[in-house]
Amino acid sequence: MTDPRLDEAKAISARETVDRLGIVGLKAGGGELIGPCPLCGGRDRFAINLRSHAFLCRRCDIRGGDNIALVMAVLGCDFRAALTWLCGDAPAQIDPGELARRRQRAEERARRDRAAQDRYRERAIADARAIWARSRPGAQGVVRAYLTARGIAPGALPSIPPALRFLTDHPYVKKIGGALVTVHRGPCMTAGVLNPAGEITAVHQTWVDPEPPHGKARIAWQGEALPAKLVRGSKKGGAIRLVTPDDAEVLVMGEGIETTLSALAADAVPGAAYWAGVDLGNMAGRAQRGPGLRYAGLPDMSDAEAFVPPPWVRRLIFIQDGDSDPRATRHKLECGLRRAMALRPGLRGQIVQAGQGVDLNDVLAGRGADEPGQDGAGDR
């Protein structure tokens, strides 16, 4: 015979179960509560779905599909004891002393995690600055050959921006099996990522094929193809400032260096500044999450590390590449524009799309059939 308390236990909300169990440090996002695991403490490894009540820790692998399983995992009890605990036949709260100890352990883990993150970030920034200091001016090496191979001819870009440098023999280092492994060495174009204060905090690295026509290097490890581009340091809120005229009021920003340089070479907006945003996540910042918000393009304004244009920018133009999911890409770009316009009153925002299935560099190099143009969204 089915225990009549079963439906009662499953009807209890996930939030209430989490509160009664004394699980602390969880944050809502995307229909889930995410944060430290109540057993192993793994930061951002534990998640519980607010609708289905399914939970999982990606570190210690505790998992289950309902409130009862969660109580069994956290309290270390059997099914009947968990059911009794949930339905009020046993004390509804964990011993206050145990609850206080759990909260203290969670706070200590959070402090250790923050300290470890700060140390890693400092090391990464120091590495980036060292790489940048070793790099030589872009006009002297492989940068010109690489850009020409990408369709950006010397006539369209007479001088190499100072933001681009190169190294003749740069190691490509990847963490494999817990160890750092050099999987490739060769010529590399480096680009400085500057924070809002104008300080180098990251370096964008593009390894170049030493053989003509000097396109991106082909890098692989044990048969697995690896991207030819890596970023070292802290890119959050920063940008690769390719060209910044003194009297500029318009900022044109693409995700990648080649896309942004393609717009510059085409003289898309005369007198504008041209910066590369490194990646979409950096340009967009964190988005609001919740039911119906997946593609809403609404920024989470509590994200203090998101990119925001300088005060001199009166018009911000984001270039939307067409070689990725258009709906997700637009959502992210709209997040970035709306955040910028909220923080810079009077700013006008605009999204310009290269064409379906291509980016602006593809168009310039003749690799796509569609012509670049505004996507119909108009100014914002």
What is the number of domains present in the chain? 3
Residues 253 and 219 in one domain: no
Residues 299 and 363 in one domain: yes
Residues 147 and 223 in one domain: yes
Lookup: tokens for 168: 């003749």
Average pLDDT over residues 355-377: 48
Residues 367 and 254 in one domain: yes
Say yes or no to pLDDT of 78 above 90: no
Residues 171 and 290 in one domain: no
Say yes or no to pLDDT of 101 above 90: no
Residues 6+ away with beta carbon under 8 Å from 362: 323, 354, 355, 368
Residue 39 — pLDDT band, cuts 50, 70, 90? confident
Say yes or no to pLDDT of 95 above 70: no
Of 216, 234, 252, the position where a domain reaches its end is 234
The verdict on residue 110 lying in a domain is no
CA distance 262 to 250: 16
pLDDT for 176-210, tens place per residue? 888 899 999 999 999 999 999 999 999 999 999 99
CB atoms within 10 A of CB 60: 16
Residues 84 and 205 in one domain: no
The verdict on residue 101 lying in a domain is no
Among 35-49, 75-89, 249-263, 355-369, the range of highest mean pLDDT = 249-263
Say yes or no to pLDDT of 249 above 70: yes
The pLDDT mean for the chain works out to 87
pLDDT at 92: 46
Average pLDDT over residues 315-337: 90
The verdict on residue 129 lying in a domain is no
Tell me the β-bridge partners of 171.
185
The residue range of the domain holding 324 is: 235-380
Q: What is the pTM of this model?
A: 0.75
Place of tokens 């018009």: 315
Residues 195 and 256 in one domain: no
Say yes or no to pLDDT of 1 above 70: no
The verdict on residue 130 lying in a domain is no
Lookup: tokens for 179: 């160890």
pLDDT at 131: 98
Residues 317 and 358 in one domain: yes
The verdict on residue 120 lying in a domain is no
Say yes or no to pLDDT of 55 above 90: yes
Regarding predicted confidence, which is higher, 357 or 17?
Answer: 17
CATH of the domain at 9: 3.90.580.10
Q: How far is CA 301 from CA 20, 26, 283, 297, 340, in A?
A: 31, 19, 14, 12, 10
Q: Which helix (H) or strand (E) is 201 found in, with range? A: strand 200-207
pLDDT for 273-310, tens place per residue? 999 999 999 999 999 977 788 889 999 999 999 999 99
How far from chain centre, in Å, is Cα 51?
A: 27
CATH of the domain at 337: 3.40.1360
Residues 359 and 253 in one domain: yes
Regarding predicted confidence, which is higher, 189 or 95?
Answer: 189
